[in-house]
Structure 1
């Protein structure tokens, strides 16, 4: 341990190694959970000093801050009361932004996980479009995921009153918003964006086709807002009228289409590439309690990036999950039962904590606004950012929206001996979520008595809302109390993905089943080490030891039922173990897909926001199955659904040119003669503490050559931070030798040229860059080039650092969904790894790894 020089002298800081070692002990040897905590959630400053070596310190930090808010109100909870609820991720788990940001003096960031912004369909001017672009970036830099809708933008070919004469349509603006997201994702920040559009928009087909183009719209998820009239037209094989403005009684433009033709395109694209996702918009709006106040600014217009929170413009939400597994008493025994009494008590407390977190968020926004006011920029520059946060502050204060949800649904059922996806399993889950909804609403009503209702509460507005009517039928007294006292929060519930937090709670994620209860993991070993056991040698000669990993709760089942968890089991013995366990026929690949849709629809009745869930289907699944799943999801009342077919994103490439064998295999045949001018992308990255830069020349948006080296060295490239693209121009120097210049347009609109990229980088880097550029020019797949770079055996430590940076730069051009061969997920052992925005993503457990 060391004393931090940057903070109070009493505050102890830790190295990353110290924190991971201490956290590994905390997690009983689970190094992955320890790494997730230290890298994502432990308190740290910008110098890299870490002030929490275990989650216990984080939980104390959070409990202290929430207790401070509690003191403002009557019957306040103590710090210890709150700590006991969140300790060891056992009961209540603040998600993401709240876990990182509560009590964090080192980051000026929001506590909200989700935001939606937009013009409410009022403006599709360039000014309005650019305003949304800036707002999106301002939110992402404060750690928020953002969604917005494009239905207000006029369709391609429509008349405009400027020099262009006609509109370019949706797709160019999708690209703009996507590129902005990718820019914010640099230097450790991760942008997340949802773009949506109504199926009633005449450009909706272009919208759903846009992401099939390799390398396009890589910074956004896309979802189609589908109305009931379209679904009925599909079902009845009828025509459907698209309009602009959408659903207008006096449209400026309209056209009739065969609903089944567009539906076939939607299904095909989802089967082909896992997008678009579907939002059943009429279900969302009809069920939405905030839309009872649409005329007061609460009209829902889009969702957050994962789709679990439909929101109005400039509203936001914070998330907290309840660990369902912890309410199973005597788990994995014949005496197991779910403690509904404790569960109801904790749900009511969880909703109370969620309301406290809103107060903490309001404080955070005040700090953000103070920071904006102190910034040296002119007020005209700061205007949009300042007005953005004022609107978000007002929405949070007025509506006090919360996002209370769950995790560990799969483990809960297994612990009770109930099969996931069975009719018994669905019925029990519905009972749990009904209990959660009623308890949370009861808590919000009680908070309204103590603290006051959200300011625009009006029982008459809500009296015909289907969700409110279900509460009335299930608990007449609760409904009566709500009418009399109001409710503290405009909407309360959601089910979000809980990937990294479920790793720390060591449970299944969200409402998902377990991926695999037992799997193999590999650890790289030195074959010359006398203690090494080599079980596998990969294609580049690295040696690996294989070992069995048990899902934490499956291991608990084994221990409770007398099975040896230290034994070296054969695969046959593992299969036998699984077959007699409560996880039998209840893993990701075992669940009947339609049953999962039925389960989502049934649970949705008791979730006032929405549910983030993906239906995973095998590679051989047909488009007809996707059609059936989407149609059934609408019929049973799901608010949204995404279908992912195994391997569906690999090698997706649409070309207007005639197909040949090389393009169908993902191989490009570049011309042997280099064009004089190439489009160029700038990719900045950091190796250790050194700043590096890569210039990537492109043909047809595919890398053709690469130059890279130190960014700010005396002998390197010094380039303004805002420059992310330009041109590489091949010229001749005074001696007649080839020279590569970089040309870009500066912020004032003037062209600037940096001469001789080849002269500005270390010659050793340059020689390797020529080798890599040669492979790119011969059309080798990008993922194969990355594999080649990673396999280079280099003696120089600096060259290895350079190698990692080049690999990282090129990964950004690997088509999303491309399968990664020869690697296993560090978490679940699955070989279903794909590239997504340059990162490795496990399709089975959701682990993300960016190198």
Structure 2
């Protein structure tokens, strides 16, 4: 419990929250208050966070401090223009004070290292973070263990230990741990890894990704064999068909949605600190490639809040958006100083590069407000201009902070960012924003809307039924029979084929499965072009999608420079979070 938190000044706005947002906040975020009954209010929560993060300003000279920082941070959050990742919302100004969502931990090829990583994972999960691991250094199954004269059990056996540990650690009392497990395509156990999630009982606390290389992709294209390499010896142990392995990967992704893929060479071409090492792993949702022991604090701007209605039509308010970007970058940099890290190694690695990840949410809602269908070339053009602007403004803000406070310590001046010396090695990323988008009352990340009516399973199995507010508002303006529409919404996610709804509305509200897989990938690629880190996006496919469509999506993502890809065919997972009715996946 926390003491009574001071209320925000009366001149500051109170947050206007949806019913769904209030349910999520009460269940997961609002602190119990010592000396009073019940929990803090949402306004108290935002003021708690704002005052705590603003206190980092005192570390620096008066020249580099932001006047009235707490009030400005509060207003940015209370207006739902920007929200930080969940650990910051939960823990800032409280005893735990662990504020990062993303961590990568090393796993070396020894029992002592593996068990030390399990211990570190448990501490990170207990503090509210998620973890990513590369298991590529662990020797393959049946390899020699010289110390015992026995046979190695391989990386998958040890992954099960990490998975079990997650089962018994409840994050901060409110979040269940999440993990990313990665194995490179040339590891001898790669076929077993690819098939792992075809058993729904396996690795239930892990997302899995295969690390693909340029040499493998060339071998697949040329229909050649490639070498599997024992990481203990560095020697080839076998040569197998690249096309066969790729087809196995496609089959598994089609069947279960996993594994996803990471294009490791693409990731490392954008590595801002290559002299510190090669990046081999990401956070659980794949958008944050990190070096061992690095963490990253994320935050997202709700771009649907920045639309101006003008006589000649709606436009995006780039001026106000730019001001918010600059304030959000400062907020996230302050978080690094206010963070209480679960391990000393994590603190050292994080402060060496000071990585932050500023992204967006509400992109689908923005397009609707601009009267632009998501699955159109015009939407791709909006994405390009928006993300290009976000990156340039965010880098400018990080550069100004570097001038005031100094650059990140690991800055390699021979490989400085094109925008100059920065305070943060990475500045932009696109996160999934699953829960904070509910709080903000907007569509998640850069995804299209999942359905006009969505049933979301949240903590403790509670179901939240939501109907897209912009659709409902426009339907009322059009004078549509909402009871008749509701009958359809209960039965299907899409309105594309409902003749009683005007065609312009049907075009304006494409759902995830109305959007062609190629368009999904092209949208991701545009955002990736202007993201320092990665992009979390799901290529949603209908249940009728073929393996060939999955393969085409993976190949197009590689061709267009994406850092990774996740496909999900509806109904391929029994426990999916989103559905269109209380009993039916869509």
Asked if Structure 1 and Structure 2 have the same fold, meaning a TM-score greater than 0.5 normalized by the shorter chain, the answer is yes
Match among 272, 281, 284 for residue 302 of structure 1: 281
Give distance in 2, aligned partners of 1:112 and 1:832: 35
Give distance in 2, aligned partners of 1:587 and 1:425: 14
Give distance in 1, aligned partners of 2:130 and 2:503: 41
Q: Does structure 2 conserve the Cα–Cα contact (< 8 Å) formed by 1:199 and 1:224?
A: yes
Match among 311, 319, 329 for residue 298 of structure 2: 319
Match among 153, 161, 180 for residue 176 of structure 1: 161
Look up the match of 2:527: 603
Q: Does 1:98 align with 2:76?
A: no
Look up the match of 2:48: 61
Structure 1 residue runs without a partner (length 5+): 1-5, 14-24, 369-388, 463-467, 473-478, 522-546, 651-815, 834-843, 845-851
Give distance in 2, aligned partners of 1:429 and 1:520: 27
What are the equivalent positions in structure 2 for 1:738-757 lying under 5 Å apart? none
What are the equivalent positions in structure 2 for 1:258-337 lying under 5 Å apart? 258-291=241-274, 293-294=275-276, 298-330=277-309, 335-337=313-315
Match among 312, 328, 340 for residue 318 of structure 2: 340
Q: Kindly provide the CA deviation profile for residues 348-402 of structure 1, in whole angstroms up to 9, marking residues without a partner as x.
A: 11111111111111xx23xx6xxxxxxxxxxxxxxxxxxxx11111112221110
Look up the match of 1:31: 19
Q: Does structure 2 conserve the Cα–Cα contact (< 8 Å) formed by 1:555 and 1:565?
A: no
Q: Does 1:646 align with 2:570?
A: yes
1:48–1:632 CA distance, 2 compared to 1 (3 A): farther
What are the equivalent positions in structure 2 for 1:713-792 lying under 5 Å apart? none
Shift of 1:224: 0.5
Look up the match of 2:459: none
Secondary structure in 1 aligned to 2:505?
A: coil
Match among 398, 402, 417 for residue 352 of structure 2: 398
Secondary structure in 1 aligned to 2:151?
A: coil
Q: Does structure 1 conserve the Cα–Cα contact (< 8 Å) formed by 2:287 and 2:429?
A: yes
Give distance in 1, aligned partners of 2:283 and 2:219: 28
Give distance in 2, aligned partners of 1:185 and 1:103: 20
Q: Does 1:129 align with 2:94?
A: no
Q: Does structure 2 conserve the Cα–Cα contact (< 8 Å) formed by 1:275 and 1:642?
A: yes
Give distance in 1, aligned partners of 2:16 and 2:480: 17
Moved more, 566-575 or 396-405: 566-575
Q: Does structure 1 conserve the Cα–Cα contact (< 8 Å) formed by 2:5 and 2:48?
A: no
Q: Does structure 1 conserve the Cα–Cα contact (< 8 Å) formed by 2:279 and 2:291?
A: yes
Look up the match of 2:126: 141
The alignment's C-alpha RMSD in Å is: 2.9
Look up the match of 1:384: none
Secondary structure in 1 aligned to 2:176?
A: coil
Look up the match of 1:720: none
1:565–1:101 CA distance, 2 compared to 1 (3 A): farther
Q: Does structure 1 conserve the Cα–Cα contact (< 8 Å) formed by 2:139 and 2:230?
A: yes
Give distance in 2, aligned partners of 1:31 and 1:518: 15
Give distance in 2, aligned partners of 1:435 and 1:102: 29
Give distance in 2, aligned partners of 1:548 and 1:139: 32
Q: Does 1:85 align with 2:76?
A: yes
Q: Kindly provide the CA deviation profile for residues 291-325 of structure 1, in whole angstroms up to 9, marking residues without a partner as x.
A: 3x32xxx5322011111101000000111100110
Q: Work out which structure has the larger RCO, using CA pairs closer than 8 Å and 6 or more positions apart in sequence.
A: 2
Shift of 1:12: 10
Match among 140, 143, 158 for residue 158 of structure 1: 143
Secondary structure in 1 aligned to 2:177?
A: coil
Secondary structure in 2 aligned to 1:200?
A: coil
Q: Does structure 1 conserve the Cα–Cα contact (< 8 Å) formed by 2:28 and 2:174?
A: no
Give distance in 1, aligned partners of 2:35 and 2:554: 48
Shift of 1:282: 0.7
Give distance in 1, aligned partners of 2:344 and 2:51: 27
Match among 198, 201, 209 for residue 212 of structure 1: 198
What are the equivalent positions in structure 2 for 1:401-416 lying under 5 Å apart? 401-416=355-370
1:622–1:311 CA distance, 2 compared to 1 (3 A): same
Secondary structure in 1 aligned to 2:93?
A: coil
Q: Kindly provide the CA deviation profile for residues 744-794 of structure 1, in whole angstroms up to 9, marking residues without a partner as x.
A: xxxxxxxxxxxxxxxxxxxxxxxxxxxxxxxxxxxxxxxxxxxxxxxxxxx
Match among 424, 443, 451 for residue 405 of structure 2: 451
Look up the match of 1:115: 103
Shift of 1:254: 2.2
Look up the match of 1:554: 471
Give distance in 1, aligned partners of 2:452 and 2:481: 15
> TM-score normalised to the size of structure 1?
0.62
1:185–1:43 CA distance, 2 compared to 1 (3 A): closer
Secondary structure in 2 aligned to 1:143?
A: coil
Q: Does structure 2 conserve the Cα–Cα contact (< 8 Å) formed by 1:148 and 1:195?
A: yes
Look up the match of 1:240: 226
Match among 420, 425, 433 for residue 490 of structure 1: 425
Q: Does structure 2 conserve the Cα–Cα contact (< 8 Å) formed by 1:222 and 1:277?
A: yes
Give distance in 2, aligned partners of 1:83 and 1:154: 50
Shift of 1:831: 4.2
Secondary structure in 2 aligned to 1:36?
A: helix
1:143–1:164 CA distance, 2 compared to 1 (3 A): farther
Give distance in 1, aligned partners of 2:45 and 2:110: 46
1:132–1:49 CA distance, 2 compared to 1 (3 A): farther
Q: Does structure 2 conserve the Cα–Cα contact (< 8 Å) formed by 1:268 and 1:623?
A: yes
1:126–1:647 CA distance, 2 compared to 1 (3 A): same
Shift of 1:585: 5.6
Give distance in 2, aligned partners of 1:7 and 1:273: 43
> TM-score normalised to the size of structure 2?
0.89
Secondary structure in 2 aligned to 1:403?
A: strand
Q: Kindly provide the CA deviation profile for residues 200-233 of structure 1, in whole angstroms up to 9, marking residues without a partner as x.
A: 1111111111222342222211110000111111
Q: Kindly provide the CA deviation profile for residues 226-246 of structure 1, in whole angstroms up to 9, marking residues without a partner as x.
A: 001111111111111111228
The structure whose Rg is larger is: 1
Q: Does structure 1 conserve the Cα–Cα contact (< 8 Å) formed by 2:372 and 2:508?
A: no
1:185–1:519 CA distance, 2 compared to 1 (3 A): closer
Give distance in 2, aligned partners of 1:141 and 1:81: 31
Give distance in 1, aligned partners of 2:104 and 2:314: 42
Match among 217, 238, 242 for residue 255 of structure 1: 238
1:548–1:211 CA distance, 2 compared to 1 (3 A): closer
1:502–1:583 CA distance, 2 compared to 1 (3 A): farther
Moved more, 492-501 or 37-46: 37-46
Give distance in 1, aligned partners of 2:454 and 2:327: 37
Q: Kindly provide the CA deviation profile for residues 84-122 of structure 1, in whole angstroms up to 9, marking residues without a partner as x.
A: 211131x111120111111123xx251010100104xxx
1:642–1:348 CA distance, 2 compared to 1 (3 A): same
Q: Does structure 1 conserve the Cα–Cα contact (< 8 Å) formed by 2:362 and 2:445?
A: yes
Q: Does 1:196 align with 2:186?
A: no
Q: Does structure 1 conserve the Cα–Cα contact (< 8 Å) formed by 2:475 and 2:482?
A: no
